[in-house]
Chain A
Amino acid sequence: MQEEQGSLQQQTGTGVGEYLTFTLGSEEYGMDILKVQEIRGYDAVTHIANSPDFLKGVINLRGVIVPIVDMRIKFKLGRADYNEFTVVIIMNVVGRVVGMVVDSVSDVTTLAPEQIKPAPEFGSALDTKYITGLGTVNDQMLILVDIEQLMSSPEMQLMDVPT
Chain B
Amino acid sequence: MTQERMESGEIDLNRFNQVFFEECGEHLAEMEQILLSLSDGKPDEEQLNAVFRAAHSIKGGAGIFGFQDMTVVTHIMESLLDRVRNHEIPFTTAMIDLFLEAGDVIAMQLAGHRDGAEVRQEAVDQISSKLRQYTDVKTAVIGTDATETGVTTATDTTSDSQPGCRLFEMEFTPDPDIFKRGVRLEQLFLELEQLGELTINAEISDFPDFGTFDPEMCATCWQFTLKTAASEEDIREIFEFVADEDQLDIRVVSDTQLSDALGDSALTVDLAGIQAPSARMAPLPPSDNVTCISPGRRASDRNETAPGAFGRRSGEADSSIRVGVTKVDQLINQVGELVITQAMLAQAAAGVDPVQYEGLHRGLLQLERNTRDLQQSVMSIRLVPISVVFNRFPRMVRDLAAKLGKQVELKTFGDTTELDKGLIEKISDPLTHLVRNCLDHALELPDVRIATGKEAIGTIMLRASQLGGRIVIDVIDDGAGLNRAKIMGKALERGIAVSDSMTDDEVWQLIFAPGFSTADAITDISGRGVGMDVVLRNVHSMGGRVQIASESGKGTRVTISLPLTLAILEGISVSVGEEKFIFPLSSIVESIQPKPENLKTVNGRQVVHVRGEYITVLPLYGMFNLQTPIIEPDKGILVLVEVEGERAAILVDTLMDELQVVIKSLEENYRKVEGTSGATILGDGKVALILDVAALIDLGKNWSDKDAASLIE
Direct touch of chains A and B (CB < 8 A): yes
Residues of A within 8 A of B (CB): 44-51, 57-60, 62-67, 96-98, 157-160
Interface presence of B408 (CB below 8 A): no
B671: chain A residues at CB < 8 Å are 157-160
Set B579, B665, B668, B669: member contacting A46, Cβ < 8 A:
B579
Q: Which residue on A lies nearest to B341, using beta carbons?
A: A63
Q: How far is the CB of A40 from chain B (nearest CB, A)?
A: 14
List 19 interface pairs A-B (beta carbons < 8 Å), by A numbering.
A46-B687, A47-B579, A47-B626, A48-B673, A49-B626, A49-B675, A49-B689, A58-B687, A63-B333, A63-B337, A63-B664, A65-B666, A65-B679, A65-B681, A66-B669, A66-B670, A97-B669, A157-B671, A160-B667
**A96 and B687 contact, Cβ closer than 8 Å, known pairs A49-B623, A49-B674, A63-B333:** no
**A50 and B669 contact, Cβ closer than 8 Å, known pairs A63-B336, A65-B679:** no
Q: Are A50 and B337 in contact (CB under 8 A)?
A: no
Q: Tell which of A49, A59, A63, A157 has the most Cβ of chain B within 10 Å.
A: A49
Q: Are B668 and A49 in contact (CB under 8 A)?
A: no
Given the complex of chains A and B, what is the CA–CA distance between A60 and B623 in angstroms?
A: 24
Interface presence of B637 (CB below 8 A): no
Q: Are A60 and B687 in contact (CB under 8 A)?
A: yes
A67: chain B residues at CB < 8 Å are 669-670
Interface presence of B688 (CB below 8 A): yes
Q: Are B669 and A96 in contact (CB under 8 A)?
A: yes
Q: Are B666 and A58 in contact (CB under 8 A)?
A: yes
Interface presence of B685 (CB below 8 A): yes
Q: How far is the CB of B366 from chain A (nearest CB, A)?
A: 22
Those 6 A-B pairs whose CB atoms lie nearest each other, nearest first:
A49-B624, A63-B337, A46-B687, A67-B670, A160-B671, A96-B669
Q: How far is the CB of B343 from chain A (nearest CB, A)?
A: 12
Interface presence of B672 (CB below 8 A): yes
Q: Are A60 and B672 in contact (CB under 8 A)?
A: no
Q: How far is the CB of B124 from chain A (nearest CB, A)?
A: 39
Set A62, A97, A98: member contacting B337, Cβ < 8 A:
A62
Q: Which of B658-706 contact A (CB under 8 A)?
A: 664-675, 679, 681, 685-689
Interface presence of B340 (CB below 8 A): yes
With contacts A46-B579, A60-B681, A98-B669 known, what are 6 further pairs, Cβ within 8 A?
Answer: A47-B626, A49-B625, A50-B624, A58-B679, A65-B664, A65-B681
Given the complex of chains A and B, what is the CA–CA distance between A45 and B688 in angstroms?
A: 10
Residues of B within 8 A of A (CB): 333, 336-337, 340, 578-579, 623-626, 664-675, 679, 681, 685-689
Q: Are B623 and A64 in contact (CB under 8 A)?
A: no
Q: Which residue on B lies nearest to A57, using beta carbons?
A: B687
Q: How far is the CB of A162 from chain B (nearest CB, A)?
A: 11
Q: How far is the CB of A51 from chain B (nearest CB, A)?
A: 8
Q: How far is the CB of A70 from chain B (nearest CB, A)?
A: 15
Q: Are B686 and A63 in contact (CB under 8 A)?
A: no
**A58 and B625 contact, Cβ closer than 8 Å, known pairs A65-B665, A65-B679:** no
Set A47, A62, A160: member contacting B672, Cβ < 8 A:
A160
B681: chain A residues at CB < 8 Å are 60, 63, 65
Q: Are A96 and B686 in contact (CB under 8 A)?
A: no
Q: How far is the CB of B275 from chain A (nearest CB, A)?
A: 55
B675: chain A residues at CB < 8 Å are 49
Q: How far is the CB of B9 from chain A (nearest CB, A)?
A: 23
Given the complex of chains A and B, what is the CA–CA distance between A51 and B626 in angstroms?
A: 12
Q: Are B669 and A65 in contact (CB under 8 A)?
A: yes
Given the complex of chains A and B, what is the CA–CA distance between A95 and B687 in angstroms?
A: 21
**A50 and B625 contact, Cβ closer than 8 Å, known pairs A96-B668, A159-B671:** yes
Given the complex of chains A and B, what is the CA–CA distance between A50 and B676 in angstroms?
A: 12
A98: chain B residues at CB < 8 Å are 669
Q: Tell which of A64, A97, A98, A159 has the most Cβ of chain B within 10 Å.
A: A64
Q: Are B667 and A59 in contact (CB under 8 A)?
A: no
Q: Which residue on A lies nearest to B667, using beta carbons?
A: A160
Q: Which residue on B lies nearest to A160, using beta carbons?
A: B671
Set A44, A57, A65: member contacting B668, Cβ < 8 A:
A65
Q: Which residue on B lies nearest to A58, using beta carbons?
A: B687
B685: chain A residues at CB < 8 Å are 60
Given the complex of chains A and B, what is the CA–CA distance between A60 and B679 in angstroms?
A: 10
Q: Tell which of A46, A51, A62, A98 has the most Cβ of chain B within 10 Å.
A: A46
Given the complex of chains A and B, what is the CA–CA distance between A59 and B337 in angstroms?
A: 14
Given the complex of chains A and B, what is the CA–CA distance between A86 and B687 in angstroms?
A: 20
A64: chain B residues at CB < 8 Å are 668-669
Given the complex of chains A and B, what is the CA–CA distance between A60 and B126 in angstroms?
A: 60
Q: Are A58 and B670 in contact (CB under 8 A)?
A: yes
Q: How far is the CB of B397 from chain A (nearest CB, A)?
A: 42
B666: chain A residues at CB < 8 Å are 58, 65
B336: chain A residues at CB < 8 Å are 63
B668: chain A residues at CB < 8 Å are 64-65, 96
A45: chain B residues at CB < 8 Å are 687
Set A49, A60, A96: member contacting B673, Cβ < 8 A:
A49
Given the complex of chains A and B, what is the CA–CA distance between A62 and B685 in angstroms?
A: 9
Given the complex of chains A and B, what is the CA–CA distance between A64 and B670 in angstroms?
A: 11
Q: How far is the CB of B449 from chain A (nearest CB, A)?
A: 53
**A158 and B340 contact, Cβ closer than 8 Å, known pairs A49-B625, A60-B681:** no
Given the complex of chains A and B, what is the CA–CA distance between A63 and B184 in angstroms?
A: 45
Q: Which residue on A lies nearest to B620, using beta carbons?
A: A49
